[in-house]
A and B are shown apart, each in its own frame.
Chain A
Amino acid sequence: MTTDPILRLENVHKSFGETHVLKGVSLTIQPRDVVVLVGPSGTGKSTLLRCINLLSPPTQGKIWLEEQEITAPGVNQDKVRQRIGMVFQDFNLFTHLTALGNVMVGLTRVRKMNKKEAYDLAMLELDRVGLVDRADHYPAQLSGGQKQRVAIARALGMDPHVMLFDEPTSALDPELTGEVLEVMQQLGQEGMTMMVVSHEMGFARRVASRIVFMEGGYIVEEGPPDQMFDAPRNERTREFLNKISSFEDNGQGE
């Protein structure tokens, strides 16, 4: 089956001054793909996600979102970001707004809906993550898992075509990761295209259509989970995946 890719990266580089972080990353993501991105700390995984939604644009290389080259000069970056949802490790919920307010603010301010429409859609999104009964709670009154689910609902409200997750469960207590991963799995089953930085290997095996292993600013190897876990071609891939999988078995995983 060949379709038009939803996201295409071509030789993406990113430097911060002298530090060369991404050294030529090329990647193609099809609609409904769930790509799990793994790699050692400091390898540039977060940087790659922030390049994709142009929070910090690449210093070189090109990115296409559907048929549009979003790295081209003159592109309205705010409009691009509307189509790319992002979920952060430390939630970043708006502290002065309730759960409902967090989802609504983008609908009224960015999508220019009226209050009523925004309210209805926001409640629908909160329902999707199972938090309707927490709608009027402020972030400080929510558990970590609930905060992250509100953050997912906030991103979904913008009706994104792709969702990026940057270690969505690593700031959570182990007993709270399940509820977040469940929501993400559900999203995957509904056909959302996702790119997830995560070391939750159980989730990767269950949900990922592809695993991408990055190290030192390059993509070392990519492939379907079975191949990556059981028959990786690259020695480094095997070592790394073995290490984090055994961490998880010992209950020390993220």
Chain B
Amino acid sequence: MDILQNLLTTLEFIIQGLWITVWVTVVALVVGLVFGVLTALMRVYGNRFWRQVATVYSVVIRAVPVVVIIFILFFVIAEYVNLSPFLAGSLALGFASGAYQSEIFRGALQAVPAGQMTAARAIGMSKVQAIWSIVLPQALRLALPAWGNEATLVLKDSTLVFVVGVPEILRRTQQVSARTNEPFIAFGAAMLLYLGLTLLTTQFLGWVERRYRLQM
């Protein structure tokens, strides 16, 4: 009874960080999506220059720990632009995720059969039109399973923004744990929340995937 009561109170406090975790994840995923798709397009269709820009981005970002990117944004860039911890953290996660998403979308773009581009050009589409309305929509669908996996990774990586003081789930958990001296209950509650979030995310993405599956 006591434990249950305790767990509920703890949950009540931690759950206020839930929306922050969700928002950090969503912003990071959207930023990552934009960067990922753009750099993938640059790598597949760009000239030498753009291909190199994209490759450097992808290689450098993937070589650096995400926490370092968060610190760079928060302590260095935030000197010049007004970046809240929330924004610095989510953007950093987004840049990082973009590099991984770029790999996913590059593979997906290359998996679209060449005949699709040929047929699009044959009805008079320009290359840009053909990419935008024929190749990319198919590539996005092909990328969905791998992208869903990346989404759950970003959800878990969102804990990293606690290093700059964003009061998301993990940070709040630590606060409770320090105050009540009951780490088992605090981290148990956090675990339950993450488990729930991850399950929801995979369920939702599974539904999207079934809805938009490409039948070849």
Interface of B is mostly: helix
Beta-carbon nearest neighbor of A105 in chain B: B133
Known contacts A95-B216, A96-B214, A55 near B118 by CB under 8 Å: yes
Q: Which of B118, B121, B124 has a CB less than 8 Å from the CB of A158?
A: B124
Q: Which of B113, B115, B123, B137 has a CB less than 8 Å from the CB of A96?
A: B137
Cβ-defined contact, A94 with B116, below 8 A: yes
Q: Which residues from chain A contact B113 at a C-beta distance below 8 Å?
A: 92
B-side interface residues, number (CB < 8 Å): 21
Q: Which of A90, A140, A141, A158 has a CB less than 8 Å from the CB of B123?
A: A158
Q: Which residues from chain B contact A92 at a C-beta distance below 8 Å?
A: 113, 115-116, 118-119
Cβ-defined contact, A88 with B118, below 8 A: yes
Q: B143 within 8 Å of A by Cβ? A: no
Shortest B16–chain A CB gap in Å is: 41
Chain A, 78-112, contact with B by CB distance < 8 Å: what is the 0/1 string? Answer: 11011011101010111110000000011001100
Q: B122 within 8 Å of A by Cβ? A: yes
Cβ-defined contact, A81 with B138, below 8 A: no
Q: Which residues from chain A contact B125 at a C-beta distance below 8 Å?
A: 78, 106, 109-110
Question: In the bound complex, how far is the Cα of B119 from the Cα of A154, in angstroms?
Answer: 10
Q: Which residues from chain A contact B116 at a C-beta distance below 8 Å?
A: 92, 94-95
Question: In the bound complex, how far is the Cα of B115 from the Cα of A121, in angstroms?
Answer: 25
Question: In the bound complex, how far is the Cα of B118 from the Cα of A86, in angstroms?
Answer: 10
Known contacts A92-B115, A96-B214, A110-B129, A155 near B123 by CB under 8 Å: yes
Q: Which residues from chain A contact B121 at a C-beta distance below 8 Å?
A: 55, 78, 81
Cβ-defined contact, B138 with A95, below 8 A: yes
Q: A47 within 8 Å of B by Cβ? A: no
Beta-carbon nearest neighbor of B136 in chain A: A96
Beta-carbon nearest neighbor of A107 in chain B: B123
Shortest B93–chain A CB gap in Å is: 30
Cβ-defined contact, A154 with B115, below 8 A: no
Q: A71 within 8 Å of B by Cβ? A: no
Cβ-defined contact, A141 with B119, below 8 A: no
Shortest A164–chain B CB gap in Å is: 9
- Number of contacts between A and B (CB, 8 Å)? 69
Cβ-defined contact, A110 with B123, below 8 A: yes
Q: Which of A53, A78, A82, A157 has most chain B Cβ within 10 Å?
A: A78
Q: Which residues from chain B contact A106 at a C-beta distance below 8 Å?
A: 123-125
Cβ-defined contact, A90 with B115, below 8 A: yes
Q: Which residues from chain B contact A155 at a C-beta distance below 8 Å?
A: 122-123
Cβ-defined contact, B134 with A78, below 8 A: no
Cβ-defined contact, A82 with B123, below 8 A: yes
Q: Which residues from chain B contact A82 at a C-beta distance below 8 Å?
A: 123-124
Which of under 10, 10 to 19, 20 to 34, or 35 or more describes the interface residues of A?
20 to 34
Beta-carbon nearest neighbor of A102 in chain B: B119
Which chain A residues in 60-91 approach chain B with CB under 8 Å?
A: 78-79, 81-82, 84-86, 88, 90
Chain B, 117-155, contact with A by CB distance < 8 Å: what is the 0/1 string? Answer: 011111111100100011001100100000000000000
Shortest B140–chain A CB gap in Å is: 9
Cβ-defined contact, A96 with B216, below 8 A: no
Shortest A217–chain B CB gap in Å is: 22
Question: In the bound complex, how far is the Cα of B125 from the Cα of A56, in angstroms?
Answer: 15
Q: Which residues from chain A contact B129 at a C-beta distance below 8 Å?
A: 109-110
Q: Which of A86, A88, A94, A95 has a CB less than 8 Å from the CB of B215?
A: A95
Known contacts A95-B215, A138-B215, A88 near B133 by CB under 8 Å: no
Chain A, 192-231, contact with B by CB distance < 8 Å: what is the 0/1 string? Answer: 0000000000000000000000000000000000000000
Q: Which residues from chain A contact B141 at a C-beta distance below 8 Å?
A: 96
Binding site for A on B (CB under 8 A): 113, 115-116, 118-126, 129, 133-134, 137-138, 141, 214-216
Q: What are 23 A-B pairs at a CB distance below 8 A?
A: A53-B122, A78-B121, A78-B125, A78-B126, A79-B124, A81-B122, A81-B123, A85-B123, A88-B122, A92-B119, A93-B119, A94-B138, A95-B138, A95-B215, A95-B216, A96-B137, A105-B133, A106-B125, A109-B129, A110-B124, A151-B119, A155-B122, A155-B123
* Given A81-B122, A94-B134, A140-B216; 19 other pairs, CB 8 A cutoff: A78-B124, A81-B121, A81-B123, A82-B124, A84-B122, A85-B122, A86-B119, A88-B118, A88-B122, A92-B116, A92-B119, A96-B138, A96-B141, A109-B129, A109-B133, A110-B129, A151-B119, A155-B123, A158-B124
The 3 A-B pairs with the shortest beta carbon distances in the complex, nearest first, are A140-B215, A82-B124, A92-B119
